[in-house]
Structure 1
Amino acid sequence: MKNFRREELLDDAQFSARIFDELGFVHRLCPKCKTGFWTLDSERVLCGEPPCEEYTFIGRPHGKRFDWGSMRRSYIRFFERLGHTPVERYPILARWRDDIYYTIATIACFQPWVTSGIAPPPANPLVISQPCIRFNDLDNVGKTGRHFSAFEMMAHHAFNSREQHIYFKDETLEYAYQWFTEGMGVPPEKLIFKDSWWEGGGNAGPCHECVVEGLELCTLVHMGYEGPGPDGTYREIPLKVVDTGYGLERAVWLSQGSPTAYDAVMPGVVEYVRGLAGVTRVDPEILAEYSKAAGVLDVETEGWHGLKKKILGVVAGRTGSDAAEIEEMITPYEAIYAITDHSRAICYMLGDGAVPSNAREGYLVRLLIRRLIRFLRSLGLEEEGVLQKVVKKQFDTVKVLFPEIKDREDEIFEMVDLEEHRYRESIVKGYKVVRKTVKKLREKGEKTIPLDELKNLYNTHGVLPEEVQRFVGTEMVVNIPENFGALVAMEHSTPIRPIEKHQGELEEKAGKLSHIPKTEILFYDKPGQKSFSATVLHAEGNLLVLDRTLFYPEGGGQPADQGKIGSGGRNVRVVDVQKVGDKIFHITDNPSCEKLFTRNEKVTGVVDWDRRKKHCQHHTATHILIGACRKLLGDHIWQTGSQISEERARLDLTHHKNLTREELNKIERVANRVVQATLPVRSEMMSRTLAEKTYGFRLYQGGAVPGAEIRVLS
């Protein structure tokens, strides 16, 4: 297929649409940001979005009024009437992915297997409302009125293959127009569709962003490409995907015209925290003007501290108030809004099985909990148990809209309580660590604590930069980056994939062997068979590729089979087996397999059965053990790794505290009862979609599973 440069894919044809012609939309180029946009207002000059224009909806809402729950229900029902099948939300922990920890958008639920055409979607077309987590704007949360770490993305998706066309760009824009005008009651002349481009998760495409009175409400991606590749180009893909994302919180905010999105979506929690802290209510006019001024300035690129002075100056000029007095009123509200957001994110993350820790997804939930504690302390709320109160207030709201997390309530609050104690301990221990750090740096003649040292103090000892600053006083300079939270969060947001042995060599080899048939797998259908006949497809160096094999490749924590392959008295020992794509490579003890075997030669393979049997027994034992742990300790228990050998097996689990001897004994008794019952082990291959519907995402204990089918053991 042809590769395209991005500029080739941004011509006028990509952005024109049937509805624009039929309804008389005109196309304009914004003189400020140089972005193209579509509007029914022939007099409009600017694109209508900050920083080109500020919000005009605050204090003057349009159309129907919604809250969090009614917005979601109305959206799903609206698209259900348009022929979309409602799909249950996915976990906020992206267990089916090996490249992200948390679900960052609705399309992430279907990447990479559905979007690449390998697996069918759960419905087509579908509608979904998905809670998501993002950390890139973490330090702006609470300050701008619109930023969230946790948010809900509403979306309708369609997956168009060569065999089945559902709908694409024209219908996508028509449905969006209908939703905003009929579903929400937005006047048509208020709608602006901006030309843009989107890419993420390996996919890309031109898109339209819908803006109403300064507020971007959705992104409509017409996904037809993958990339960018190493050369920066994009390749057309056979599956054309409708990838939309409608911000639920922003839509509710628009419908109410409140000063901030936090006030619109979670008013009860905002007011509860304000009351706990005894913060005086701010004049709504000042809050409204503050949000307008904050919205029009580019906090993402300019930084907050410098912009805050500009914002305060603008608000003071508009309201006739003193800038210093406005800052004194607004600063506590910034903490209140951040607490409101963070407490919801924590409910989502813990409710879906995250366990606070110093690694992986646990690092990120611990970061949010500690930020939340710091915000509470900035309001004078330092007494023990106040964190529990705030999270409980938020949980009571969240569980109504996500009833599936109700059963996790006890576990969630046990973890929250434990994290509060650990934070207090880290402060006590952290003081000594900081003093040692200061001494070491001063001996080197340093006057400023470097950023890397601030990161290390948090990552290793849990001491936030603000605590470091408090401990150091005027002894040394502590420059805290405005985006410190986002900085450390983003550094821990992407899993580090281990470099497998032979990985580079075998991937290159597999690419060169794309012309030969895939390896037929025998070990699943014939688990008790010890030998097999096969045909040599490729022999080179110490590698053999056969048309079929009984040899199990390394994977899922289980080592590869060993054994021998031979023909006519010529034998090689198989010392390792690796699967790359649809090919299985047998790595042998002979460096010149091409001298022993020829292409299309018939050979016999024999598996080292004693080794295989021990591996299978230990592998089954890990499944029994994790089942016992989940039964006794809770559904938050998750396998993060395992290692199986002939002698023993190791299982790595997530849990928020050390196991007691009594708990270990109970786990052992439950596991042994299963073993003593001598239950048969059944396996079946199921389509990914059916397996997820049947068993849920606990299928992915131990990691993501590639391919269209999943082998399920019971």
Structure 2
Amino acid sequence: MPTNNEIRQQFIDFFVSKHGHVYVPSSPVVPFDDPTLLFANAGMNQFKDVFLGTGKRPYQRVANSQKCIRAGGKHNDLEDVGRDTYHHTFFEMLGNWSFGDYFKKEAITWAWELLTEVWGLDKTRLHATVFEGDPANNLGPDTEADQLWKSQTTIPHGNVHLGGKKDNFWDMGDTGPCGPCTEIHIDLTDDKSGGRLVNQGSPHCIEIWNLVFIQFNRNSDASLTPLPAKHVDTGMGFERVAAVLQGKKSNYDTDVFSPLFEKIQSLSGSTPYKGSLENRVDIAYRVVADHIRALTFALTDGAAPSNEKRGYVLRSILRRAERFGRQYLGFKKPFLHELAQTLANSMGDVFPELRSKPGAVAKVIHEEEESFLRTMEKGMKLFQDISVGAQESGDKVISGDKVFDLHTTYGFFPEITAQMAGESGLEIDWPGYKTLFEKFKEESGKDRKSIASAAIQGELPSCDDSPKYSSVPCQGKVLGWVLNNAVIREGKLQPGVQTGLLLDQSGFYAEQGGQVGDSGEIRFPGGCFVVSDTQKLGAAILHLGKLEQGILQPGQEVTGVVSPKRGEIKKNHTSTHLLNSALREILGDHVDQKGSLVDENKTRFDFSHSQALTREEIRKIELRVNEMICAGLPVVAETMPLDAAKKLPGVRAMFGEKYPDPVRVVRIGGVENIASMEFCGGSHLDSTSQAGFFKILGQESVSKGVRRITAVTGQAAVEHLFELSGVLEVLSEKFRCSPLQVVERVNALQDENKELKAQAKQGTSSDLAGVMDQLLASSKIIGPCKFLCGQVPVAPVDQIRQHLDRVRQKAGSSVVLIGWGEGDKAGLMAAVSDDLQAQGIEAGKLIAEVAPLIDGKGGGPKGMAQAGGKSPGKLKDAFDKGFQIVSSKLA
């Protein structure tokens, strides 16, 4: 039975290795570049601009596994999770895409090949649906797909079904790209009678793959125009196909979820998961396991719990899981945060980002749990009283004011209350609740506004930050400041107060585009405001810091002086552009920027690349960047209309980034010999020579298919070289050789060490052989067989096993039980000859019985087994026990 990791890899390898696709890592589950989505909910999200014709990629065939969340918004599976065996808030979508390359024939035949030849699914259980047409919408049937299924695959013709527009036609919206789709279903009934259940929403015949053929553009008058380039967009539910390939009836019965179930059971002490649809304990298992996946991935990818939009959905997910865990699994204290590490352990190999900050993610979850649990008990008690009252009144409805009170006082979002009410056979008064909550928001808004709400409503004053590219001190006027989440426009700011100062004009650069915000000072006669960071909020610039001296008030004239750190930031930012160019030049055009962080100390650059860079590649990259620095190339920034900028030959932009119109383009090099040209709003040098020197400090993996380089420039790079040189000098002194001979000397020492280890191993093996032969010579006779036992020297387990097997063969009919150990570690190994196994003496059972005597445990097959323990001093007790067991068996 394949593991879930093997299934995922088989899918990717099939398309990448066999059919020339490019593996593109999953985009974050939080789509920061698409304000229309709360979460990534399909594999096509990151390629939407290609289908819309507004973006391009350097590849035409793609395969991946996309992280998805469907909770909140148009696609919302939250309330169904736990109540059946196939809904999830978080899931993976396996997919393959063609951007104007192959089309229906290849998509259908490759899908059939993977399902039936690679995965070996029963052809008679597979059913395909094709679009039957829709005359009312002027849509003809997809006869091409129907014919391809019947002529290019071995599917039984009776297993090809016609489907309507609802299931077999895909639209991106009222206008835009669209096309028919063919879905692949699998019959899970015992007697293969599930064909009648296709497209009926039955768990006994489920869809496992959807192949969408994007071939039309829907115009504003609803007419269809064939697209010049046709695309393929497929999606396969990973958890569903894992259940099918592992022979399970439920997604939750697979090894995708078993590590979480085991941890939940261990933490709660509840009964193990049994898969029941009616049992509230099993429902709670599914809810908690599913929800921790959604929470952990979303928080890892940058989301945060809050009371608005995406954050509200996450908080709802957490509180729903908390409620189920407390009510049905018996948890009395926060528990969800302990599951985050379990998920990182089980899925971290596939999604390394889970291992990047598990502690921080667990901390956020723990804080949210504690916050909710402070009021949850009282809220549950209040709900019980309310539900009893509603039952007794006979109207079966919980009033809007009660729902409102549970929300605002006890943190029970109305969706949670509605679900609890449903479990008690009640409903809630939604209109009444909404009226009260809207009034509550209106009243709350009459007081001081938070920074975020002020920005939304235009209450934060705008700031002209056009001088931000100049290092000349900038004059400005104080408009106010932000204090205690309120905008202050009058009064006086006293010394020692931490705040966000608001000016009408500023030369400070606010954090954006991967470049940190400026620091510095805002000076005025008799005083100084020290700026530690600069942030942009709407049209306002917040100068975050503290008034060190003097008094400030609105209307006061001030002078902004940016810290000299800006100069180091500019070196690192310009060098980041050079690095981006060098990476593409040396590694290939597949390299795309995935993120960056530029501050005064370093540049950190994330890019698409499937493997670690070699030493030679790093050397070439460093050499190329330093060549461009030494060339003293001009760095020129120009602002132009976005459409015109996109047409510039060779211009680079970061995928997913939303750029303003007009956009700033930074060019490095002359018009005829451009080294780099990117959309960028950051601070840059005037000439590459000002960067001085560039040195890569290291590389690491960020996620599958994404690498990260950290580098330094200027004085920091020179100092790093001095440090390396100092280390080399120390080593050359230690080894008494020249610096250039250090590597040769280290290699010689490694060879010498390897030889000494081999000699030691040979000596250990020789000692071990001698002891084992002594045990054979002094073996005890029990009936017709020999019993060999005793302690042997500590040695590699494979050596011990090898000598144990040798002695067992020499002994003939025998039981061998040996042990070894030192400190607080001990080991046992047993071997039983074939004839004694037939009499009921088994090595695995023998080891299982004697291992506890050395404070250990173990087991294994009938012929040979082993155990580990903590008490070498108790090995004799284990040998004596073993002798008793064998003697009793042969008595």
Instruction: Give the TM-score normalised by structure 1.
Output: 0.53
Contact 1:85 1:126 (8 Å CA) reproduced: yes
Corresponding letter in the other structure for 2:307: N
Distance 1:678 1:208, change over 3 A: closer
Aligned to 2:538: 643
Aligned to 2:77: 137
Q: How does 1:63-82 map to 2 (within 5 A)?
A: 65-80=1-16, 81-82=18-19
How far, CA to CA, are the matches of 1:140 and 1:472 in structure 2?
Answer: 15
Q: How does 1:434-449 map to 2 (within 5 A)?
A: 448-449=397-398
Correspondence for 1:395 among 318, 322, 344: 344
3-state SS in 2 of match to 1:208: strand
State yes or no: 1:257 paired with 2:197.
no
Q: How does 1:330-345 map to 2 (within 5 A)?
A: 330-345=279-294
Distance 1:625 1:455, change over 3 A: farther
Corresponding letter in the other structure for 2:281: P
Task: State the shift of 1:371 in Å.
Answer: 1.1
How far, CA to CA, are the matches of 1:207 and 1:368 in structure 2?
Answer: 32
How far, CA to CA, are the matches of 1:710 and 1:139 in structure 2?
Answer: 43
Task: State the shift of 1:184 in Å.
Answer: 1.0
Aligned to 2:428: 479
How far, CA to CA, are the matches of 2:364 and 2:217 in structure 1?
Answer: 41
Deviations 1:229-268 (A, max 9, x none): 4x55555433322100011111110012223101112112
3-state SS in 1 of match to 2:349: helix
How far, CA to CA, are the matches of 2:595 and 2:511 in structure 1?
Answer: 23
Contact 2:316 2:413 (8 Å CA) reproduced: no
State yes or no: 1:200 paired with 2:172.
yes
Distance 1:84 1:407, change over 3 A: same
How far, CA to CA, are the matches of 2:216 and 2:405 in structure 1?
Answer: 40
State yes or no: 1:674 paired with 2:565.
yes
Task: State the shift of 1:429 in Å.
Answer: 8.2
Correspondence for 2:238 among 228, 243, 248: 248
Q: Which deviates more from structure 2 when the two are superposed, residues 243-252 or residues 397-406?
A: 397-406
Corresponding letter in the other structure for 2:253: D
How far, CA to CA, are the matches of 1:198 and 1:453 in structure 2?
Answer: 42
Task: State the shift of 1:616 in Å.
Answer: 7.1
Task: State the shift of 1:228 in Å.
Answer: 7.5
Task: State the shift of 1:219 in Å.
Answer: 0.5
3-state SS in 1 of match to 2:82: coil
Corresponding letter in the other structure for 2:42: A
Aligned to 2:626: none
Contact 1:220 1:245 (8 Å CA) reproduced: yes
Correspondence for 1:209 among 183, 186, 193: 183
Deviations 1:11-53 (A, max 9, x none): xxxxxxxxxxxxxxxxxxxxxxxxxxxxxxxxxxxxxxxxxxx
How far, CA to CA, are the matches of 2:408 and 2:219 in structure 1?
Answer: 33
Contact 1:350 1:412 (8 Å CA) reproduced: yes
Contact 1:641 1:702 (8 Å CA) reproduced: no
Contact 1:120 1:689 (8 Å CA) reproduced: no
State yes or no: 1:713 paired with 2:682.
yes
Contact 1:92 1:131 (8 Å CA) reproduced: yes
The alignment of Structure 1 onto Structure 2 pairs a total of residues equal to: 450
How far, CA to CA, are the matches of 2:242 and 2:257 in structure 1?
Answer: 10
Contact 2:284 2:324 (8 Å CA) reproduced: yes
Aligned to 2:47: 110
The higher relative CO (CA closer than 8 Å, separation ≥ 6) is in 1
How far, CA to CA, are the matches of 1:100 and 1:194 in structure 2?
Answer: 29
Distance 1:380 1:125, change over 3 A: closer
Structure 2 stretches lacking a partner, 5+ long: 131-167, 188-204, 438-452, 459-464, 471-502, 520-533, 548-561, 582-588, 597-605, 609-652, 664-677, 684-891
Contact 1:644 1:650 (8 Å CA) reproduced: no
Aligned CA-pair RMSD: 5.0
Aligned to 1:267: 258
Contact 1:642 1:649 (8 Å CA) reproduced: yes
Deviations 1:317-365 (A, max 9, x none): xxxxxxxxxx4xx221111011111111111111111111112322222
How far, CA to CA, are the matches of 1:462 and 1:73 in structure 2?
Answer: 42
Instruction: Give the TM-score normalised by structure 2.
Output: 0.44
Distance 1:697 1:375, change over 3 A: farther
Corresponding letter in the other structure for 1:713: G
Corresponding letter in the other structure for 1:386: F
How far, CA to CA, are the matches of 1:403 and 1:621 in structure 2?
Answer: 27
Q: How does 1:23-38 map to 2 (within 5 A)?
A: none
Aligned to 1:704: 658
Deviations 1:618-674 (A, max 9, x none): 444667885699xxxxxxxxx9962345xx4379xxxxxxx999xxxxxxxxx9573
Aligned to 2:602: none
Distance 1:222 1:418, change over 3 A: same
How far, CA to CA, are the matches of 1:640 and 1:450 in structure 2?
Answer: 44
Q: Which deviates more from structure 2 when the two are superposed, residues 91-100 or residues 686-695?
A: 686-695
3-state SS in 1 of match to 2:240: helix
How far, CA to CA, are the matches of 1:458 and 1:426 in structure 2?
Answer: 11
Task: State the shift of 1:72 in Å.
Answer: 1.1
How far, CA to CA, are the matches of 2:406 and 2:47 in structure 1?
Answer: 38
Corresponding letter in the other structure for 2:128: F
Contact 1:172 1:220 (8 Å CA) reproduced: yes
3-state SS in 2 of match to 1:713: coil
From the CA coordinates, give the structure whose radius of gyration is larger: 2
Contact 2:517 2:535 (8 Å CA) reproduced: no
3-state SS in 2 of match to 1:219: strand
How far, CA to CA, are the matches of 1:373 and 1:269 in structure 2?
Answer: 15
How far, CA to CA, are the matches of 1:624 and 1:210 in structure 2?
Answer: 43
Task: State the shift of 1:457 in Å.
Answer: 5.1
Corresponding letter in the other structure for 2:35: D
Aligned to 2:552: none
How far, CA to CA, are the matches of 1:156 and 1:457 in structure 2?
Answer: 46
Corresponding letter in the other structure for 1:251: V
Aligned to 1:44: none
Aligned to 1:316: none
How far, CA to CA, are the matches of 1:95 and 1:365 in structure 2?
Answer: 16
Q: Which deviates more from structure 2 when the two are superposed, residues 126-135 or residues 357-366?
A: 357-366
Corresponding letter in the other structure for 2:262: E
3-state SS in 2 of match to 1:114: helix
Correspondence for 2:376 among 427, 433, 444: 427
Corresponding letter in the other structure for 2:61: P
Contact 1:209 1:220 (8 Å CA) reproduced: yes
Task: State the shift of 1:272 in Å.
Answer: 3.0
Q: How does 1:126-165 map to 2 (within 5 A)?
A: 126-135=62-71, 136-160=76-100
How far, CA to CA, are the matches of 1:472 and 1:336 in structure 2?
Answer: 20
Contact 1:223 1:243 (8 Å CA) reproduced: yes
Contact 1:198 1:206 (8 Å CA) reproduced: yes
Task: State the shift of 1:107 in Å.
Answer: 0.6
Task: State the shift of 1:614 in Å.
Answer: 8.0
Task: State the shift of 1:456 in Å.
Answer: 8.4
Corresponding letter in the other structure for 1:617: G
Distance 1:642 1:389, change over 3 A: same
Task: State the shift of 1:92 in Å.
Answer: 0.8
Contact 1:624 1:674 (8 Å CA) reproduced: no
Corresponding letter in the other structure for 1:197: F
Aligned to 2:507: 617
Q: How does 1:289-308 map to 2 (within 5 A)?
A: none
Task: State the shift of 1:500 in Å.
Answer: 12
Correspondence for 1:83 among 20, 28, 35: 20
Corresponding letter in the other structure for 2:240: R
Task: State the shift of 1:128 in Å.
Answer: 1.0
Aligned to 1:181: 116
How far, CA to CA, are the matches of 2:79 and 2:421 in structure 1?
Answer: 23
3-state SS in 2 of match to 1:401: coil
Q: Which deviates more from structure 2 when the two are superposed, residues 71-80 or residues 361-370?
A: 361-370
Contact 1:126 1:157 (8 Å CA) reproduced: yes
State yes or no: 1:123 paired with 2:45.
no
Aligned to 1:225: 216
Contact 2:396 2:426 (8 Å CA) reproduced: yes
